[in-house]
Amino acid sequence: MLSAQRRSHLLDLLDRDGRIVAKDAAAALGLSEDSIRRDLRELAEAGLCVRVYGGALPVPAADRPFRDRLSLGTASKERVARIAAERIRPGSTIIIDAGTTALALARLLPDDPTLTVITPSPAVALAVAEHSPARVIMIGGELGRHSMVAGGALAAEAIRHLSADACFLGVTGFHPEHGLTTGDLDDAATKRALAERSTDVYVLASEEKVGAVSRYPVLDVGEVTEVIVDPKTDGPDPSTRTEGSDARDHQDRG
């Protein structure tokens, strides 16, 4: 079997089974695992799968460009955003990350002029300004055309001088084994920096993100306060919906 035929076969497996186990694929084709791993590496580099230990998983739908995600799972995002809005305390300073679920949250903020919202997302900043009387602080930096979020060295420097009571973090994958992931390396670093400057971290996980794995790790599930999932989603681990107050030590955060 030619390499192109193998890769096509692997993509068919991924579409049929939702995952590829390298040793099983190798045994079925009578090939070495090294050959399958090379094929998976090339498929991952082409953006056609996400490599994980022992095989590969599909590319999450949430890794699509921002504009394409606006119409994806809107009802689920609304449900997650409504739960997240209940976590906002009066007069607090919060970070709202970029993403379409974060944008839904920005439109559901309480009518509280003492609230301060920090965000690296121009779209979120405009939505907050339009739908609430909250103070808005934007994090500057280079705008990623794919994610539409500010990042890079300038953003990292700005984040170092900020602190928040709560951070509402967007990810493109939430998996109980592989943790919280995203499809952009710089964006992953920005998300970690935002989380580090926040007392509580809430992850916004609408239905298309549950069980998905993207290329770059952000945080382990145990490092956040709560993963907020859509109550109508059959998640891989429903226990992550509850606050994990023991999962994170907040007292050392400045």
- What the chain holds in terms of domains, given with CATH numbers, is 3-59 (1.10.10.10), 66-241 (3.40.50.1360)
169, 224 in Cβ contact below 8 A? yes
pLDDT of amino acid 67: 56
- pLDDT range class, residue 64, cuts 50, 70, 90: low
The per-residue pLDDT for range 214-248, each reduced to its tens digit, is: 888 999 999 999 999 998 876 444 334 433 333 44
Please give the pLDDT value at position 61.
65
Confidence of residue 202 (pLDDT cuts 50, 70, 90): very high
pLDDT at 9: 85
Q: 65 versus 232: which is more confidently predicted?
A: 232
User: pTM above the 0.75 mark?
Assistant: no
Q: What is the mean pLDDT of the chain?
A: 84
Mean pLDDT, residues 172-187 taken together: 88
Question: For residue 237, what pLDDT is reported?
Answer: 46
Taking residues 164-172, report their average pLDDT.
95
- Which tens digits make up the pLDDT trace of 88-126? 999 999 999 988 899 999 999 999 999 999 999 999 999
CA distance 45 to 129: 39
pLDDT (0 to 100) of residue 148: 78
The pLDDT of residue 18 is above 70: yes
Q: Which one, of 152, 195, 146, lies nearest residue 170 by Cα?
A: 195
Task: Locate 49 and state its tokens.
Answer: 């799968």
Neighbouring C-beta atoms of residue 45, cutoff 10 Å: 10
Q: Which two tokens stand for residue 176?
A: 């109980």
Quote the CA–CA distance of 54 and 26 in Å, as a whole number: 11
Residue 15 confidence (pLDDT) above 70: yes
DSSP track, the chain: --HHHHHHHHHHHHHHHS-EEHHHHHHHHT--HHHHHHHHHHHHHTTS-EEETTEEEPPPGGGS-HHHHTTSSHHHHHHHHHHHHTTPPTT-EEEE-SSHHHHHHHTT--S-TT-EEEES-HHHHHHHHHH---EEEEPPSEEPTTT--EEHHHHHHHHHT--EEEEEEE-SEEETTTEEEES-HHHHHHHHHHHHTEEEEEEEE-GGGBT---SEEEE-GGGSSEEEE-TTS--S-GGGGS--TTS---TT--
